[in-house]
Structure 1
Amino acid sequence: MEFALVCTRISILVLLLALSSPCKFIQSPMYFGPLKFLQSTSSASLDFGKIFFNPPSAVLRPQSPKEISQLLNFLGASSFNKVTVAARGAGHSIHGQAQALNGIVVEMESLPNSIKIHKKGDGESECSYADVSGGTFWVELLRETLKEGLAPRSWTDYLYLSVGGTLSNGGISGQTFKYGPQISNVLQLDVVTGKGEIVTCSPTQSSELFYAALGGLGQFGIITSARILLQDAPQKVKWIRAFYDDFEMFMEEQQLLISMADKVDYVEGFIILNEQSLHSFFSSFPSNPDFMPHLHSGSPAVYYCIEFAVHYPFDDEESKIDDVFEVITRKLRFMRPFIYSVEVSYFDFLNRVRMEEMSLRSSGLWDVSHPWLNMFVPRSGITQFRDLLLENISPSTFEGPILIYPILKDKWNANMSAMLPEDSTSPGKENVVFVVAILRSANPNTCSTKCLKGLLHQNRLIVEAATNPRIGAKQYLPHYSHQGLWSEHFGGRWNRFLARKSKFDPLHILAPGQGIFSRVSPHSTE
C-alpha cells in the first residue's frame, strides 16, 4: 500500500513537471499506465557492469541545465522526500553508480552537444581550452579539437565516456604520470548543485564546489559543462610493447620510463596470464606477436608487458623519433627479442580500445557482466598486492586484461574529492602509486549467476586485504556496501566530504547509486 502510494506521488510529480515546463520526460509504463512515450526507462536501469538493475520511476532528458535545476529545486521544496536523482552519461559504470531506484535518472547526452574551442592568443586566452557540455563523449571532443591541431592532455583508455562522468571520478590512463588525471586538467566547471543552484566554479571562483565536484562521485552536483585544457596535438605516435618474465624488473622499468617524461608520453603495463589474455591484449595492436610459446603449452608462468608511446614532434622528423626510441630501449632489460613497435595516427592510438570493443562485440562478449575491480596501490605494497591477486584468481581461466601502471601523487590536487593511498609509514614521501585494473568479464557461456557472485566475492576479499595498512591500497571507482566503509575509504578527509555534502546537497538527493547517503526529508532536523 505504502509502495503504491509513493509510486503514485512520484507519477504525479513527474506529470506536473512534464505539463508545466519544457522538460522532456520519458515515463515508465509500470507507473504511468497509458501515459507512454516512445522510449522507456529500461536503459537507465542497467549499466556496463550488468550486476545491478535498479529501475527509476522516470527519466529526464534535459535540453538545458536550467531544466535540471528546476527538477532539483522542485524536489528540494516538495514533500516527495524519497525521490533521488542520478546523472547518467555513457552508462559505463560498474556497480549501479548512475542508477536511481524508484527515483529519476537524468540522461546527460540529451544536453546540446556544444564544443567551443579557444586557441591560445585568441582574444584574452592565455592557453588553449575547450568549453564542452557534460554529456559529450571524449571521442567527440577529440575529433573537434584535432581539426584545430589541438587535443586535451589527459585521457581515459576508452573514449566513449562522457566528460561529466569521468570528471566525477578522476579520469586516468597512461598519460596520467605526465599530466595528472583528467580532473587535474580542468580550468572551470558549470555545476547544478543538489539544491538546484547553477554555479560556475573554478580554482578562484566558488572554489570549494569546483574541488568537491572533481572526483566527487556526483555527490555534490551534476557537471553540465567543463573547460578542458588543450595542448598542441602530435600527428603520429610510436607505440611500443616489451615483455618481461620478472615482476620486480617490470615494476622498476615502468618507474624508469615515467622518470623520462621529456621523452616518454604514455606508460601502461599488463599482466599476461594465459593464451586468451595474450590474444585479446593484441587485438588492438597492429602487429603479429611471436611471443610466449610456453603459454601455448600450458605453462603456469605469468608474464608482463610494458606498453609505452612516444609522440612524434610537431615537425614530424622521423629520425628524431628513432633516436629517442633508441635512447629509451638501451636502458630497458626486456626479454629480447620480444619488443614490438608500430606507428599509428594520434587519433587511432587514443581510440585503440575501440578496436578491442569491436572484437568483443563480434564474439558476443561486450554486453556481458563485468565484475571489474580498480585499485590504487602504493609502490611499497605492489608486490604484496600482486601475490594477493594471484592467490585469489585462477590464471588459467581468467578472462579479461589486468592493467598495472604507475602514476605520481604530486600530479593530483588534494583539495579534490578523489582519494589516493595515504602513506602511513612516511607521510608524503612515497610519490609513486600503481593503478591496478582487474577487468574481467563473466562470459555467460562459462560463468553462471553463481559464478558471477563468486567473482564479486573474490573482489571483496581482495579489497578487504588490500585496504588494510599492510598494503594500504584504495579503490578507484569505489563501491562499498555501507557508510562505515565509505568513512574508512576517505579516512582523514571524511569530515570534509560530509561538510561538502551538507553544503551542496543537504537533502542527499544526488547520486543514490553510490550508496553513501540516504535521502533526507526537507522537513528533517538533521
Structure 2
Amino acid sequence: MSKSALPRRSVIVGAAATVVGWNTVGRSWAVEAPAPDTPTAPAPAPEAADTATLAALPRLDGTLVADGDTLARFGGDFGHLVTAAPRAVLRPGSVRDVATLVGFARRHRIPVAMNGQSGTGETAELESHSSYGQAGVRGGVAIDSRGLDRIIRISPGRAVVEAGVTWAQLTDAALAQGWMPPCLTDYLHLSVGGTLSVGGIGGGVQRHGFQADTVESVDVVTGTGELVTASASANRELFEAVLGGGGQAGLIVRATLRLVRARERALVLNLFYDDLGAYLADQKKLMLERRFDLQVGDVSRNAAGTGWRYKVEGVVHYDGTAAPDRAKLVRGLRCVAADTTFTDQTAREYAYRVDAFAGFLKGAGLWSQPKPWMSLFLPASTAETFTREALALLTPEDLGAGLLLFYPFRTDVFTRPMTVMPDEPVGFHFDLLSFPFPGADHAAALRRNRRLYDRAVQLGGKRYLIGAIPDVTHAEWRRHYGTRWGRVVAAKRRFDPAGILTPGQGIHS
C-alpha cells in the first residue's frame, strides 16, 4: 500500500510536543517545538534539528502517542510481574494503520507488539491475556487493539470481527441473532486477536479445541508490513503460524470465526470428590462418553482445611422445557453423591458466570495485584503423579483468592500446529490462576512455577503461552516445540525477517 493512498496525516503527541518522525541516529522519536504562544512549551528535542537523520512518520488514520501515562500502562500487563515500557503506543484508526506502522518499524528495526488491553472497567482494571510480559515491547511500539473493535458481520454460522473485539461483545451480538461462539474463554472480556494468538481455551475445549481451531480465516499484518488474508486453503503457512503462534509471524487484525446455534438454557452440575484417582477416572469417563456439552473442573481446599477437594463442573445446554435427565447424567460415577448440586440458568448467564467473581476480586483490590499464573498441559498417564506432587507443594497462600482449574481434553481436537500438546490421546489442563493476597512472596511463587514446569516437562507436559515461567531458554523453547521447531523458525524467517514482532514471548531470543 502506497503512502499516498492514506487519507490524512496523524502525529504523535506527548508531553505538549508533537513527534514528527524517527531519529535514525539517536533511535528515538523526533519532536518539534510547540507553537511559540504555548505557555509551557518545552525546548525542542536536540535530534529534531537535524532533518538529515529524520525519517518522517507515515500518514495514519489513528494516532501514535507517547505520553507518560499511556506508556506506563502499556509497560505492564495483567500479571503485574514484568515491566517493559514501549516508546510509543499506536491507537489505530484502521487495519491499514497497523500495516503502515509495522512497515515503518521494520525499516527502522523498531520492535512491535499487539496488546489487547481489554476488560470491563477503567485503566487499572484492564486485562490482557498476558501475565508475564508476553505482550510487552520494551523500547518499541505497542499497538492498542481496542482501536480495532468493529464487529463487521454476523451471518448464519459465521462472524467477521476485528482483533480488538472482545468475546463478550461477540457473544452478545451473536446471541441476538441466535448464534454463539463454540468455544469461549471462562472470562469473556478478552480480545479475539489476543486469545487466537495463544490458542484460547475454555470449557468447550473437549468438543471444539481451542478458539483458534474455530477460525476460518484471518487477516494478518506480517513483520514486513504486508496485509495478508490467510486460511487453510490460501496462504496456509501463515494461517498455521499465527493461530497459537504467540504473535511471532504476524499480527492478527481481523478474523472470520465459526458460530454454532445458540441454546436457551444451561443445566450446570457440580460433582465433588475427595479422592484424586476417582476424580481423574470420572473426568476421563465423562469426556469420552460426551455426557456434557462443556466440562471443566477445579481443585480447592476442603472445608476442614486439611487437604484438597476436586470438583467436576458439567454443563448440558437445552431449549424450552426439554431439561436433561439429571439421574442419567450422574449415573455410574464415584462422586460424593450427597454433595452434588444442580443449577438451571440461561445460556448467557452461564457464559458470563465469571463476571461476579471478577467483581469480587476488583472490590477486594486483588485484580491489580501481581499474579504468578501458570498453565500447563499434562499427558493423562502422568497427570496423577504430577498433581499429587504439585498439591503437596502448594499451600492455600499460593492460591490466595484464586483457583486451580484441572480438567481433561482430547488432544486430537487441536488442529493448529503451533499449539503443542502432550503426545497422548488424552491430556489434562492444570491451570494455576492465583490471586495472592498483599504481602505474598512473588519471587518465591515464580521459583515454584519454574520447579513445577520443569517437573511437568519431565513427565511429558507442555505449557500454555500465557503463564509466568521465568528463565525459559532458547533450548527449552526448542524442546517445547519438538519436531515442529523447524516450522517455527521457518515462519519467523519468512514472515518477520527483521525479528521485530512480539519480542516479549522470548521464543526466538
In the TM superposition, 1:182-221 aligns within 5 A as: 182-221=211-250
In the TM superposition, 1:136-151 aligns within 5 A as: 136-151=165-180
Any idea what the Cα deviations from partners look like across 1:134-193, whole Å, max 9, x if unmatched? 110000000000000101101111101100100011111111001111111111110001
Structure 1 residue 9 corresponds to structure 2 residue 27: yes
Q: 1:23, 1:62 within 8 Å by CA — same for their partners in 2?
A: yes
> In the TM superposition, what is the alpha-carbon distance from 1:408 to its structure 2 partner?
0.7
Q: Which residue of 2 aligns with 1:35?
A: none
Question: Residue type matched to 1:105 in 2?
Answer: A
Q: Which residue of 1 aligns with 2:446?
A: 456
Query: What secondary structure, in the 3-state scheme, does the structure 2 residue paired with 1:494 have?
Result: helix
Q: Distance in 1 between matches of 2:493 and 2:98?
A: 20
Q: Which residue of 2 aligns with 1:465?
A: 455
In the TM superposition, 1:96-135 aligns within 5 A as: 96-119=133-156, 128-135=157-164
Query: What secondary structure, in the 3-state scheme, does the structure 2 residue paired with 1:225 have?
Result: strand
Q: Distance in 1 between matches of 2:59 and 2:297?
A: 54
Higher relative contact order (CA 8 A, sep 6+): 1
In the TM superposition, 1:272-351 aligns within 5 A as: 272-273=300-301, 292=303, 295=304, 298=305, 300-312=306-318, 314=319, 316-318=320-322, 321-323=323-325, 325-351=326-352
Q: 1:28, 1:57 within 8 Å by CA — same for their partners in 2?
A: no
Q: 1:17, 1:23 within 8 Å by CA — same for their partners in 2?
A: no
Query: What secondary structure, in the 3-state scheme, does the structure 2 residue paired with 1:456 have?
Result: helix
Query: What secondary structure, in the 3-state scheme, does the structure 2 residue paired with 1:467 have?
Result: helix
Question: Residue type matched to 2:279 in 1?
Answer: F
Q: 1:174, 1:405 within 8 Å by CA — same for their partners in 2?
A: no
> In the TM superposition, what is the alpha-carbon distance from 1:403 to its structure 2 partner?
0.6
User: What's the TM-score once normalised by structure 1's chain length?
Assistant: 0.83
Q: Distance in 1 between matches of 2:61 and 2:266?
A: 47
Q: Distance in 1 between matches of 2:361 and 2:59?
A: 45
Query: What secondary structure, in the 3-state scheme, does the structure 2 residue paired with 1:12 have?
Result: strand
Query: What secondary structure, in the 3-state scheme, does the structure 2 residue paired with 1:155 have?
Result: coil
- Percent of aligned pairs with the same amino acid: 33
Query: What secondary structure, in the 3-state scheme, does the structure 2 residue paired with 1:507 have?
Result: coil
Query: What secondary structure, in the 3-state scheme, does the structure 2 residue paired with 1:461 have?
Result: helix
> In the TM superposition, what is the alpha-carbon distance from 1:340 to its structure 2 partner?
0.8
Structure 1 residue 408 corresponds to structure 2 residue 428: no
Correspondence for 1:437 among 431, 434, 446:
431
Query: What secondary structure, in the 3-state scheme, does the structure 1 residue paired with 2:27 have?
Result: helix
> In the TM superposition, what is the alpha-carbon distance from 1:40 to its structure 2 partner?
2.5
> In the TM superposition, what is the alpha-carbon distance from 1:420 to its structure 2 partner?
0.7
Structure 1 residue 269 corresponds to structure 2 residue 297: yes
Structure 1 residue 173 corresponds to structure 2 residue 202: yes
In the TM superposition, 1:348-387 aligns within 5 A as: 348-387=349-388
Q: Which residue of 2 aligns with 1:22?
A: 61
Q: Which residue of 2 aligns with 1:391?
A: 392
Q: 2:410, 2:427 within 8 Å by CA — same for their partners in 1?
A: yes
Greater percentage in strand: 2
Q: Which residue of 1 aligns with 2:97?
A: 67
Q: Distance in 2 between matches of 1:515 and 1:442?
A: 26
Q: Which residue of 2 aligns with 1:155?
A: 184
**Which ranges of 4 or more aligned residues in structure 1 deviate by more than 6 Å?**
4-7
Q: 2:61, 2:94 within 8 Å by CA — same for their partners in 1?
A: no
Change in 2 beyond 3 A, CA 1:13/1:508: farther
Q: Distance in 1 between matches of 2:150 and 2:405?
A: 32
> In the TM superposition, what is the alpha-carbon distance from 1:461 to its structure 2 partner?
0.7
Structure 1 residue 87 corresponds to structure 2 residue 105: no
Q: Distance in 2 between matches of 1:252 and 1:502?
A: 44
Q: 1:57, 1:102 within 8 Å by CA — same for their partners in 2?
A: yes
Any idea what the Cα deviations from partners look like across 1:395-450, whole Å, max 9, x if unmatched? 4664120110011111011x52111112xxxxxxx311100101112322x31xxx
The runs of 5 or more residues in structure 2 that have no matched partner are 1-21, 33-53, 119-127
Q: Distance in 2 between matches of 1:392 and 1:152?
A: 37
User: What's the TM-score once normalised by structure 2's chain length?
Assistant: 0.85
Q: Distance in 1 between matches of 2:137 and 2:491?
A: 21
Question: Residue type matched to 2:300 in 1?
Answer: I
Q: 1:178, 1:258 within 8 Å by CA — same for their partners in 2?
A: no
Question: Residue type matched to 1:28 in 2?
Answer: D
Change in 2 beyond 3 A, CA 1:260/1:317: farther
The runs of 5 or more residues in structure 1 that have no matched partner are 30-38, 120-127, 275-291, 423-429, 519-526
Query: What secondary structure, in the 3-state scheme, does the structure 2 residue paired with 1:191 have?
Result: strand
> In the TM superposition, what is the alpha-carbon distance from 1:10 to its structure 2 partner?
2.5
Q: Which residue of 1 aligns with 2:82?
A: 52
Query: What secondary structure, in the 3-state scheme, does the structure 2 residue paired with 1:380 have?
Result: helix
Query: What secondary structure, in the 3-state scheme, does the structure 1 residue paired with 2:30 have?
Result: helix
Q: Distance in 1 between matches of 2:206 and 2:233?
A: 25
Change in 2 beyond 3 A, CA 1:19/1:221: closer
Query: What secondary structure, in the 3-state scheme, does the structure 2 residue paired with 1:41 have?
Result: helix
